[in-house]
Chain A
Amino acid sequence: VSGLAPLHAQEVVAPSAVSFTDMGGIETSLTGTPGDVAAGAELMNKGSGNCIACHKVTALSDLPFHGEIGPPLDGVATRWDEAQLRGIVANAKKTFPGTIMPAFYHTGPYVRPGDAFTGDAAKGDVAPLLSAQDVENVVAYLMTLDTYPE
């Protein structure tokens, strides 16, 4: 039966099924669908991504208030390859043990998981902060950060 599935329709890799390299990278796409740079840029600013809460990104300097908790992401694509960036976005703790950076493609276990930002207990299973395609989109955006603006 599986032979009937079209070749391009790769199964989305579930958060619990992600395989990390020893370095904390993820070699293959989580979805098989190439990331969308513009959609990735959106997530840097808003929603469950909000990466610039902690990171400065010069290419996004039209947006206000970039944080300084993590390193600036300028030139990040020259420091890490795509697999490593995918791993860092999905679960940075595999690359940087104990880091403050949240794991975006992960479902716990968590201590007192909440229902988003309501302060109430989570209702049932917690969804990952970013979907598999969101992760691919953010990685595609990070891959464009290949220079160091002065």
Chain B
Amino acid sequence: MARGFRSGGAAALALVLAAPLAGADEVIDDELVINGEIPIVTQAPAPEHVEAFSVIRSGWTFRSPETQAMEMDDFDNPAILGVEAARDDFDASLGANGESCASCHESPEDLAGVRAVYPKWDDAAGEVQTIEMQVNECVTERMGAEAWPYDASRMVNMSALMSFVSRGEIVNVAIDGPAAETWQQGKDMYYTRYGQLELSCANCHEDNYDNMIRADHLSQGMVNGFPTYRLKNTKLNSVHNRFKGCIRDTMAQTFSPGSPEFVALELYVASRGNGLSVEGPAVRN
């Protein structure tokens, strides 16, 4: 008995170390390797600050095999058109100073890894910034050009390029220090039951993920795949646009893309995905 216990215990421990997700009742097919060369973490142990889950999952794991397949090869991923458009923009000079993004950042690949830590506290601005806000800071303050509208395709494409060059990097958004207050604001929003239907983000994406709500298979509502190309509207969609849609569907007055409320919500939701890979631009329903 004692001998059995010892070796059994060691074997069980080894199993846990090799497969940290064993024991959770969600063993799923989670193999996503983009272009046969970029492995994507689509399932990971939940970060400590997400008490409701033991395992976090990318929205990709909830999609149909056909939709999943579109993300496995860039030739099949319609979001890549937006990435290509942003590459052209990256090299184009604009604004009073005649500079392009490339004048300062050389190539988009220079900014690899940046997406994984956004939204992020910006000391100079004294606020949490999304990647779109950071891009606009460069556009206006450094290039002397007009700000790009937060949710216009030009911005969404650039955001997609920023995700593209970070694909596979592990999301690791800071929630402490000066970002803590904004994070808490986002968390409070996540659990607020908005609108006439009185539904919170958590009602759908925490309490009911993996359930069908009418024709929709609910995911955990992660943002690691953003911007996402949606088959429903056949274009790239920003995180804030998705938030807007989800709040509208509770029969509530929404917030605007780029609003301080959505920035706070994005920080909180992004932090729930700490441990997954940057997967955007992803393909979703």
Binary flags per residue of A117-146, CB closer than 8 Å to B gives 1, else 0 = 111111000100100000000000000000
Most-contacted residue by chain B among A103, A110, A122 (CB, 10 A): A110
State the CA gap A69–B215 with chains docked (Å): 12
The main secondary structure of chain A at its interface with chain B is loop
Q: Bound complex: CA of A103 vs CA of B207, how far in Å?
A: 18
CA distance in complex: A102, B200 (Å): 12
Segment from B15-23, B43-51, B244-252 that makes contact with A: B244-252
In whole angstroms, what is the CA distance A113 to B244 when docked?
14
Q: Is A39 an interface residue (CB 8 A)?
A: no
- Contact, CB under 8 Å: A102 / B196: yes
Q: Which residue of A lies closest to B218 (CB)?
A: A69
Q: In this assembly, does B24 line the interface, its C-beta being within 8 Å of a C-beta of chain A?
A: no
Complex Cα–Cα for A113 and B253 (A): 6
B111 within 8 A of A: no
Q: In whole angstroms, what is the CA distance A53 to B212 when docked? A: 8
Contact with A65, one of B212, B244, B253 (Cβ below 8 angstroms): B212
Q: Smallest distance from the beta carbon of A17 to chain B beta carbons, Å?
A: 19
A-B residue pair count with CB separations less than 8 angstroms? 79
A67 to chain B: which residues have CB within 8 Å?
A: 211-214
A interface size (C-beta, 8 A): 29
Out of B199, B215, B251, which one reaches A100, CB within 8 Å?
B199
| A24-B219 Cα distance, complex, nearest whole Å | 32
Q: Counting CB contacts under 8 A, is B192 at the interface?
A: yes
Q: Is B103 an interface residue (CB 8 A)?
A: no
- With beta carbons under 8 angstroms apart, the residue of A50, A100, A110, A112 that contacts B207 is A100
Alpha-carbon distance A111/B188, docked complex (angstroms):
13
Q: Are A114 and B207 in contact (CB under 8 A)?
A: no
- Chain A residues near B203 (CB, 8 Å)? 100
Chain A, residues 96-119, CB within 8 Å of chain B (1/0): the string is 000010110000101111111111
Given A102-B197, A103-B198, residue A113 in contact with residue B211 (CB < 8 A): no
Q: A64-B215, A113-B253, A119-B252 are in contact. List 14 more A-B contacts (CB 8 A).
A: A67-B213, A68-B211, A69-B212, A102-B196, A108-B196, A110-B196, A111-B194, A111-B195, A111-B198, A119-B244, A119-B248, A119-B254, A121-B253, A122-B196
